[in-house]
Amino acid sequence: MTLRVDVGQRPSGFTLIEVLIALAVASIVFLGGLKLVQTVSQSLFESRDRNLAMLCADNALVLVRLQVQRQGVSERRDTCRQGSRVFNVETRILVTPHSNFRRIEARVYHADTPADDFFLAYRVGFLPLGF
């Protein structure tokens, strides 16, 4: 048996340069996918924090409506625990042009950030008086 080799035919297979280029393209694709997963998970954490902060703001409005002695013009700061998170809640009761109503504002912040910084949730409600 004799083995015939055609001189004009190139050997089949990949060269080292082709393999390196393929690895570079694959790594760029994988890094893009990793960045996408990171962005989605960060968005989910922020959404969870905003939902929990909104519960704190709703609770603050209900608390003002239930406590008759807190229905005068005032400002109060409390902490609120929702799940494993702790938030600072700033509740303000303000006068309105109509004497039978009070405006209630509740702002919720992360517990580890200053109160003047970015707030997570903001709720406004109105409290009827004398009805």
Which pLDDT tens digit goes with each residue over 7-31? 566 667 778 899 999 999 999 999 9
pTM: 0.72
Domain ranges in the chain are 16-128
CA 76 to the chain's CA centroid: 25
The confidence score (pLDDT) of residue 1 equals 61
The confidence score (pLDDT) of residue 130 equals 74
The confidence score (pLDDT) of residue 42 equals 93
CATH 3.30.1300.30 is held by the domain 16-128: yes
Residues of the chain where predicted confidence (pLDDT) is lower than 50: none
